[in-house]
């Protein structure tokens, strides 16, 4: 620790020595037509060796620019290069904002300065940025989906076709930090995971770290996916609409009118499935008097507003609302009369399921350019994940028989809910005060309220019975500070040390996560990377690990009596960017997990000591794990043909004393992904995605036996056997090879001058039967009805199917 403090002091001393000698040039690089910031634009002083890359907000800083005339050049893939000649006088700082015009004509080859600059700048390995074009052109399931595209990257494994959850280098989805404009999203899925919650139309870029991420990110031990929404068009009002098989999407954006020196932009994007509306309309048009209404839909919308108060201060408001809703209402009224007994009854019964689940987030960010070298971002956010299953049944009525009358009423309600309410305040400082150093520091306080509960209520006219068998309320506060420095020791050698210190309110300990990154440029186009770090996590999901299909996640803070979970990451990598736009990356990693907890899978209820106890969410197995692997990535970053080929060799093992070491369900030894997008003409694109992977582990049945059961009747207890499978070691067999090939076609057209696209998606074109798991049944002798032994068949995932849609722009 003492050495670390000395190091920081040294940086500050160097800063004061250098600070007065030269000028600093800073500013923003934006797209001319829309005003969107351009990340990783290359900004450099010609013939000087001085330069910088823009950050995700388009901001750049070039320090130590000597007096005199300099020529500054700004370039990035797909945009016209801009040059400007400046005069630096007496080390006076300059603020320059650039607007670059797009040169990209779809399908044409362009320079790859941006990609090269990104390669030069980024120290951390295992990082890939996906832009809008990649997301929109990759083959999709029904509609473009960020998670489906990320699933095709090396190191990312899938559990099944029905889930877009990300299993990254042995980490489960709860170990990934999924952020939308910096806000944590807890359940980023719709329809039980088939779709991710992010509307691709609104996404500007998604930054994915498969591991080894630096100290500025914390709280999770797996991967980082930071989704950055578009800021909105600062110049014109624009929009687009998209109709796919299941949903309609729309996006509107435009400038905020200038007022007393302020300016800004806004963007709103929304999506809703409409199959419920159509089915209900059809039912109405057919004059159906049925009570049936299609019960399910999901929606989401995102709002983003930027307001530049002056050149140094910007406020950004970001909001995301997304819900899945299952809404079932049945009601029935009956009237009857029995003339013989003179019995009359009027009855009303109702059955209601009201089940919404989803995320609501709000955030306000204040960016302050304190001086050209020091940028502060202060962020206040609230993210709420809510799952609430509310079931009601009631039966009531009145009766009369002769002169006697009466009434009755029975009602039963069942509530099951999990609410995670995350309130975060953080400040992050980015400082370019010392030549060849970029220092970042920050403070984050995160208060998370968990409320997991279950309630039953039964009532009739004279009695009410209320049960609350599960109530787990917790409040955790996670406070953390971080400091990291990116130090360009030489033009070829970059270090990125960092440290993150965390306090978790349920524990007495202080947790320290050291992070270290190193990058060495063997050549201008070839770099070696090494990363080592520790990553703590203070929350988990309490779902059974062998769940075949998962609709929702149950989040819990790490209990006070459980140790904080953590993982150590070790990554070695080589990265090569060829002159003809091919990126080749090879990485090997080892991850070690400690103090994981795995939910005990068993019966829901257990009676003990006069109380009904709900066990699934508070009984865990202590679990250890490791993951190791080798990943290869060939990525074509520009040109008429783009895409990547990724290969992953991976092994993940977990250890629970009950099972010993075993492969978790998501472990696949070999995975090959091929994703391609080719411009056949200026208007026609074809894209393809192919995935072949080793089968997933499953627990094989070895035989059958009779499980003995006892019926403890008070008169005469009895014992009997029920047939059960005798299973082998947990997950010791594997399902057959997974293979799926999807193809997408997209064509641009105009209709009375209105540009639009129409697209077709072919999913699983070979109609390969990919096994979700096996199902078993007895072979029956049709003559004697004897059960002749077991046979099995795969439970298939997606068959071949075709979807299509259109997307219009205005």
Partner 1 sequence: MRIFIISFISIFSFSCLTIDQELDWEDVASGHEPILNIMGLLSTDSLVTSFINVHRSLTMDEATDTLIRDTIFGNIEIYYASRFVVKDAEVIVSDGTQDYIFEYQEFEINKDNLFTTGTYLYKGNDLNPQSGQTWTLSVTTPNGLNVTGETTIPPPPQLFKEQLPDTFHIDQTLDISWEPMSDHYQIINVGNLLAYFVGDVINFDRSYACGLWQEEIISPDEESWTYRREICDQGTDQNWEEDFLLVHLMSMDKNYFNYFIRYARDPEFSSLFFGEGGSGRNFGIEGGIGVFGSVSIDRHQIPITH
The 224-243 site mask, x for binding partner 1 (CB under 8 A), equals: -------------------x
Q: Is 719 in the site for partner 1 (CB under 8 A)?
A: yes
Given the rule CB under 8 A, which of 178-186, 192-200, 512-520, 796-804 is the region that contacts partner 1? Answer: 796-804
DSSP string computed for 310-348: ETTEEEEEEEEEEEEEEEEEEEEEEEEEETTTTEEEEEE
Cβ-proximal residues to 333 (8 Å cutoff; 6+ apart), any chain: 346, 347, 348
Minimum distance, C-beta of residue 375 to partner 1, in the bound complex (Å): 46
For partner 1, which is the closer residue by CB, 242 or 496?
A: 242
At 494, which helix (H) or strand (E)? strand 493-504
* CA nearest to 570, candidates 547, 546, 590, 540: 590
Minimum distance, C-beta of residue 415 to partner 1, in the bound complex (Å): 19
How far is the CA of 83 from the CAs of 26, 32, 45, 50, 633, in angstroms? 15, 15, 10, 15, 34
Q: Is 804 in the site for partner 1 (CB under 8 A)?
A: yes
> Please, which of residues 602-641 interact with partner 1 by CB under 8 A?
602-603, 606-610
> Please, which of residues 571-600 interact with partner 1 by CB under 8 A?
600
For partner 1, which is the closer residue by CB, 358 or 664?
A: 664
Q: Are 592 and 626 in contact (CB under 8 A)?
A: yes
Residue appearing with tokens 């500025």: 216
Burial class, 785, CB count within 10 angstroms (exposed 0-12 / middle 13-18 / buried 19+): exposed
For partner 1, which is the closer residue by CB, 64 or 804?
A: 804
Q: Is 785 in the site for partner 1 (CB under 8 A)?
A: yes
Q: Which of 87, 102, 291, 707 binds partner 1 (CB under 8 A)?
A: 707
Q: Which of 84, 724, 755, 810 binds partner 1 (CB under 8 A)?
A: 724
> Please, which of residues 685-704 interact with partner 1 by CB under 8 A?
699-704
Minimum distance, C-beta of residue 755 to partner 1, in the bound complex (Å): 12
Q: Residue count at the site for partner 1 (CB under 8 A)?
A: 84
* CA nearest to 769, candidates 712, 695, 717, 715: 695
Strand bridging mode 23-31 / 98-100: parallel
Q: Is 717 in the site for partner 1 (CB under 8 A)?
A: yes
Q: Is 753 in the site for partner 1 (CB under 8 A)?
A: no
For partner 1, which is the closer residue by CB, 351 or 530?
A: 351
| Phi (first) and psi of residue 120, to 5 degrees | -70, -40
For partner 1, which is the closer residue by CB, 68 or 602?
A: 602
Strand bridging mode 23-31 / 94-95: parallel
Residue appearing with tokens 């998209």: 242
For partner 1, which is the closer residue by CB, 317 or 659?
A: 659
Q: How far apart are CA 695 and CA 768, in angstroms?
A: 13
Q: Is 791 in the site for partner 1 (CB under 8 A)?
A: yes
Minimum distance, C-beta of residue 617 to partner 1, in the bound complex (Å): 16
State whether residue 510 is helix, strand or coil: strand
Q: Is 737 in the site for partner 1 (CB under 8 A)?
A: no
> Please, which of residues 411-470 interact with partner 1 by CB under 8 A?
458, 460, 463, 465
Given the rule CB under 8 A, which of 292-300, 441-449, 671-679, 780-788 is the region that contacts partner 1? Answer: 780-788
Q: Which of 725, 732, 734, 745 binds partner 1 (CB under 8 A)?
A: 725
Minimum distance, C-beta of residue 807 to partner 1, in the bound complex (Å): 10
Q: Is 672 in the site for partner 1 (CB under 8 A)?
A: no
Q: How far apart are CA 193 and CA 178, in angstroms?
A: 14
> Please, which of residues 271-290 interact with partner 1 by CB under 8 A?
278
Q: Are 393 and 429 in contact (CB under 8 A)?
A: no
Q: Is 394 in the site for partner 1 (CB under 8 A)?
A: no
Q: Is 410 in the site for partner 1 (CB under 8 A)?
A: yes
Q: Which of 19, 245, 283, 315 binds partner 1 (CB under 8 A)?
A: 245
DSSP string computed for 412-428: EEEEEEEEEEEEEEEEE
Minimum distance, C-beta of residue 746 to partner 1, in the bound complex (Å): 14
Q: Tell me the residue length of the chain.
A: 810
Burial class, 165, CB count within 10 angstroms (exposed 0-12 / middle 13-18 / buried 19+): buried
């Amino acid at each position: 620790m003492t050495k670390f403090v000395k190091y920081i002091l040294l940086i500050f001393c160097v800063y004061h020595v250098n600070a007065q000698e030269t000028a600093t040039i800073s500013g923003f690089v934006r797209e001319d037509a829309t005003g969107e910031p351009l990340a990783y634009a290359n900004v450099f002083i010609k013939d000087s060796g001085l330069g910088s890359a823009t950050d995700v907000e388009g901001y750049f800083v070039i320090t130590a620019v000597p007096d005199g005339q300099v020529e500054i050049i700004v370039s990035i893939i797909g945009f016209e290069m801009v040059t400007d000649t400046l005069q630096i006088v007496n080390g006076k700082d300059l603020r320059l904002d650039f607007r670059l015009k797009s040169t990209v004509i779809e399908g044409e080859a362009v320079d790859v300065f941006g990609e090269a600059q990104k390669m030069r700048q980024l120290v951390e390995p295992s990082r890939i940025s996906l832009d809008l074009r990649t997301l929109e052109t990759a083959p999709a399931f029904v509609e473009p989906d960020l998670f489906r595209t990320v699933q095709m990257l090396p190191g990312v494994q899938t559990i099944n076709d029905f889930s877009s959850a990300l299993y990254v280098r042995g980490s489960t989805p709860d170990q990934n930090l999924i952020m939308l404009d910096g806000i944590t999203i807890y359940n980023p899925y719709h329809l039980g995971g088939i779709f991710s919650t992010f509307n691709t139309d609104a996404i500007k870029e998604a930054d994915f770290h498969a591991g080894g991420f630096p100290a500025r990110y914390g709280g999770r031990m797996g991967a980082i996916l930071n989704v950055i929404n578009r800021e909105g068009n600062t110049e014109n009002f624009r929009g687009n609409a998209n109709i796919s098989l299941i949903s309609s999407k729309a996006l509107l954006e435009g400038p905020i009118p200038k007022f007393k020196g302020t300016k800004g932009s806004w963007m709103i994007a929304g999506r809703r499935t409409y199959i419920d509306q159509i089915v209900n309309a059809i039912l109405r048009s057919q004059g159906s008097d049925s009570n049936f209404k299609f019960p399910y839909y999901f929606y989401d919308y995102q709002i983003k507003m930027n307001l530049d108060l002056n050149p140094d201060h910007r406020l950004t408001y970001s909001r995301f609302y997304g819900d899945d809703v299952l809404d079932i209402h049945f009601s029935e009224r009956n009237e009857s009369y029995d003339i013989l007994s003179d019995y009359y009854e009027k009855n009303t019964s109702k059955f209601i399921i009201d089940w919404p689940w989803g995320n609501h987030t709000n955030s306000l960010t204040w960016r302050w350019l304190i001086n050209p070298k020091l940028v502060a971002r202060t962020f206040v956010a609230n993210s709420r994940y809510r799952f609430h299953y509310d079931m009601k049944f009631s039966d009531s009525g009145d009766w009369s028989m002769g002169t006697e009358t009466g009434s009755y009423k029975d009602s039963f309600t069942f509530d099951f809910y999990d609410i995670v309410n995350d309130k975060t305040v953080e400040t992050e400082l980015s400082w370019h005060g010392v030549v060849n150093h970029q220092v970042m520091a920050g403070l984050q306080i995160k208060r998370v309220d968990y409320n997991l509960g279950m309630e039953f209520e039964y009532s009739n006219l004279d009695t009410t019975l209320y049960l609350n068998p599960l109530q787990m309320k917790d409040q955790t506060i996670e406070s953390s500070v971080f400091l990291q420095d990116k130090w360009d020791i030489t033009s070829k050698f970059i270090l990125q040390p960092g440290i993150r210190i965390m306090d978790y309110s349920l524990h007495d300990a202080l947790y320290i996560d050291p992070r270290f990154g190193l990058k060495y440029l063997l050549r201008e186009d070839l770099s070696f990377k090494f990363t080592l770090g520790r990553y703590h996590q203070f929350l988990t999901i309490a779902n059974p690990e062998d769940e075949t299909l998962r609709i929702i996640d149950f989040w819990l803070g790490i209990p006070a009596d459980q140790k904080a979970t953590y993982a150590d990451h070790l990554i070695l990598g080589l990265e090569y960017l060829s002159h003809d736009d091919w990126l080749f990356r090879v990485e090997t990693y080892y991850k070690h997990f400690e103090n994981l907890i795995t939910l005990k899978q068993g019966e829901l209820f257990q009676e003990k000591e006069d109380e009904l106890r709900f066990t699934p969410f508070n009984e865990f197995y202590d679990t250890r794990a490791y993951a190791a692997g080798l990943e290869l990535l060939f990525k074509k970053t520009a040109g008429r043909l783009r895409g990547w080929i990724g290969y992953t060799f991976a092994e993940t093992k977990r250890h629970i004393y009950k099972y010993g070491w075993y492969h978790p369900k998501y472990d696949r030894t070999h995975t090959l992904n091929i994703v391609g997008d080719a411009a056949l003409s200026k208007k026609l694109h074809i894209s393809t995605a192919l995935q072949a992977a080793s089968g997933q582990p499953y627990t094989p049945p070895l035989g059958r036996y009779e499980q003995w059961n006892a019926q403890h009747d008070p008169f005469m207890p009895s014992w009997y056997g029920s047939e059960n499978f005798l299973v082998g070691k947990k997950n010791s067999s594997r399902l057959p090879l997974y293979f799926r090939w999807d193809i997408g076609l997209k064509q641009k057209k105009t209709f009375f001058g209105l540009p639009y696209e129409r697209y077709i998606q072919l999913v699983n074109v070979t109609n390969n039967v990919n096994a979700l798991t096996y199902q078993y049944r007895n072979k029956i002798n049709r003559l004697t009805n004897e059960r002749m032994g077991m046979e099995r068949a795969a439970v298939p995932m997606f068959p071949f199917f075709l979807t299509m849609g259109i997307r219009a722009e205005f």
